[in-house]
């Protein structure tokens, strides 16, 4: 029976062409958008994890409550011992202390007087150790547009827009002015080793990167750090795994009221990322639902037109004694075949395009000129195992729904009117 229905579809192209193209285009858009949204989600997670949040982050309770302000007076102390304990307790993770701080960068003239000043948002990490993973996480290897990476203590990197505004070039001198961990005034002279284009306008406008040892000395934070981000080493970010790690760590901290008690926050608990990731998930579900509805309506109309065109054929089959249920099931079988073939074609084209975008991406720098959020400047698709099958949901379901609605007319055909039709 299946072979018979398939031959009938192939030999009558007018019966298959429009539904096939409708399904193929709908599935192509569904799978393409699914892969693109998955790519955006993955990039947002990894971009924010590397640059800001980690997959998890250890902070004091007081610091966590005001983490947007980076209150270093509530920073972690005894960081060396704490990192060793974390490595022992969670062997599948890697940990790297960081300090976030703010202040002014003062540029002197030849007489030592202030020539220009700019507000900076600084990040201190281990960037002087040879082969440090922090250089890669912060994306410093490929973002230095002028100069070089710091090679010794007393050298810093600054954002491109900040450098242009202060008229600073590699080799220039500047004085950092801020506050210490204990509330005192912090000042130190630095050499600009390089200018960085982060690709995020907020960072290019205010960003400053220095080695964590320099920051600890300037900010009076010996063996202290504002936060200790952690990243999985045995796989990508997985919500269930990460939340399990955080729950284990926070068991001992839940009963303490001391604001200096270390706590662990997951990536979703920081920077409003939970809402953003939930919205992306909802968008993916909405995309599939919308295309199922849209294609069902189109295929319903197509089915009605096809039923009208096949009015005589259906009448003859009923007159020959074929039950109405059999004709109806045959039409549903044809719909499944068309949906299957259209889904295969649409998925193949969508995956080919998605693999291309996964490799090359789409540059959205122009849309981020005034952005203050952490977003990558090049968005890429991401082909997941589900992408190979997700198209079958709208592809087959929509053809079934459309044909099922259109085919109801079969049951309304009366035997009396049928013979009158055959006589004319």
Contact 234, 92 (CB under 8 A): yes
Examine the fold and report which residue of 252, 270, 288 is the final residue of a domain before the chain moves on: 270
For the chain, how many structural domains are there in total?
2
Supply the range of the domain harboring residue 281: 2-47+274-423
**100 and 214 assigned to the same domain:** yes
**121 and 262 assigned to the same domain:** yes
**Given this model, what pLDDT does residue 292 score?**
73
**284 and 397 assigned to the same domain:** yes
Examine the fold and report which residue of 240, 255, 270 is the final residue of a domain before the chain moves on: 270
**Given this model, what pLDDT does residue 311 score?**
56
Number of residues assigned to the chain: 424
**350 and 281 assigned to the same domain:** yes
**Given this model, what pLDDT does residue 192 score?**
94
Write out the two tokens for 303. Answer: 């089915």
**260 and 281 assigned to the same domain:** no
Q: pTM (2 decimals)?
A: 0.72
**38 and 71 assigned to the same domain:** no
CA-to-CA distance for 152 and 143, rounded, in angstroms? 19
**123 and 241 assigned to the same domain:** yes
State the distance between the two ends of the chain, measured CA to CA, in whole angstroms. Answer: 31
Nearest residue to 56 via CA among 264, 273, 278: 264
**106 and 208 assigned to the same domain:** yes
**Given this model, what pLDDT does residue 14 score?**
61
**Given this model, what pLDDT does residue 315 score?**
64
**235 and 355 assigned to the same domain:** no
**317 and 410 assigned to the same domain:** yes
**Given this model, what pLDDT does residue 54 score?**
92
**292 and 219 assigned to the same domain:** no
Q: Which residues of the chain have pLDDT under 50?
A: 371-374
**Given this model, what pLDDT does residue 60 score?**
94
CA-to-CA distance for 5 and 329, rounded, in angstroms? 11
**405 and 320 assigned to the same domain:** yes
CA-to-CA distance for 377 and 374, rounded, in angstroms? 9
**Given this model, what pLDDT does residue 273 score?**
83
**Given this model, what pLDDT does residue 303 score?**
58
Examine the fold and report which residue of 270, 287, 310 is the final residue of a domain before the chain moves on: 270
């Amino acid at each position: 029976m299946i072979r018979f229905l398939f031959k009938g579809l192939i030999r009558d192209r007018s019966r298959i062409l429009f539904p096939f193209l409708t399904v193929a285009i709908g599935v192509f858009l569904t799978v393409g958008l699914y892969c693109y949204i998955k790519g955006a989600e993955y990039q947002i997670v990894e971009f924010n994890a590397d640059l800001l949040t980690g997959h998890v982050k250890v902070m004091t309770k007081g610091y966590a409550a005001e983490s947007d302000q980076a209150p270093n007076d509530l920073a972690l102390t005894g960081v060396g011992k704490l990192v060793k304990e974390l490595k022992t307790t969670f062997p599948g993770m890697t940990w790297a202390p960081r300090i976030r701080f703010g202040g002014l960068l003062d540029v002197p003239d030849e007489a030592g007087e202030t020539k220009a000043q700019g507000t900076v948002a600084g990040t201190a990490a281990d960037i002087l150790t040879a082969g440090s993973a922090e250089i890669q996480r912060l994306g410093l290897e490929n973002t230095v547009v002028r100069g070089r990476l710091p090679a010794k203590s007393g050298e810093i990197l600054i954002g491109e827009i900040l450098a242009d505004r202060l008229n600073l070039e590699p080799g220039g001198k500047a004085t950092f002015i801020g506050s210490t961990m204990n509330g005192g005034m912090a000042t130190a002279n630095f050499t600009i080793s390089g200018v960085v284009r982060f690709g995020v306008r907020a960072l290019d406008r205010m960003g400053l990167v220095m080695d964590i040892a320099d920051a600890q000395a300037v900010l009076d934070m010996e063996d202290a750090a504002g936060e200790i981000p952690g990243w999985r080493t045995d796989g990508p970010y997985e919500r269930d795994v990460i939340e399990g790690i955080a729950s284990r760590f926070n068991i001992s901290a839940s009963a303490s009221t001391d604001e200096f008690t270390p706590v662990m926050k997951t990536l979703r608990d920081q920077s409003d990322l939970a809402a953003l990731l939930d919205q992306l998930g909802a968008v993916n579900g909405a995309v599939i639902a919308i295309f199922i509805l849209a294609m069902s309506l189109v295929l319903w109309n197509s089915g009605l037109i096809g039923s009208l065109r096949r009015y005589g054929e259906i009448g003859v089959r009923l007159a020959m004694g074929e039950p109405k249920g059999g004709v109806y099931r045959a039409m549903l079988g044809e719909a499944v075949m068309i949906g299957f073939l259209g889904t295969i074609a649409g998925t193949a084209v969508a995956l080919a395009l998605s693999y291309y975008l996964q490799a090359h991406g789409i540059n959205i720098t122009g849309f981020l000129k005034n952005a203050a959020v952490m977003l990558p400047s090049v968005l890429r698709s991401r082909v997941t195992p589900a992408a190979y099958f997700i198209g079958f949901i709208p592809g087959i379901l929509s053809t079934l729904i459309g044909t099922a609605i259109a085919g109801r007319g079969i049951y309304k055909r009366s035997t009396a009117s049928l013979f009158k039709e055959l006589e004319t």
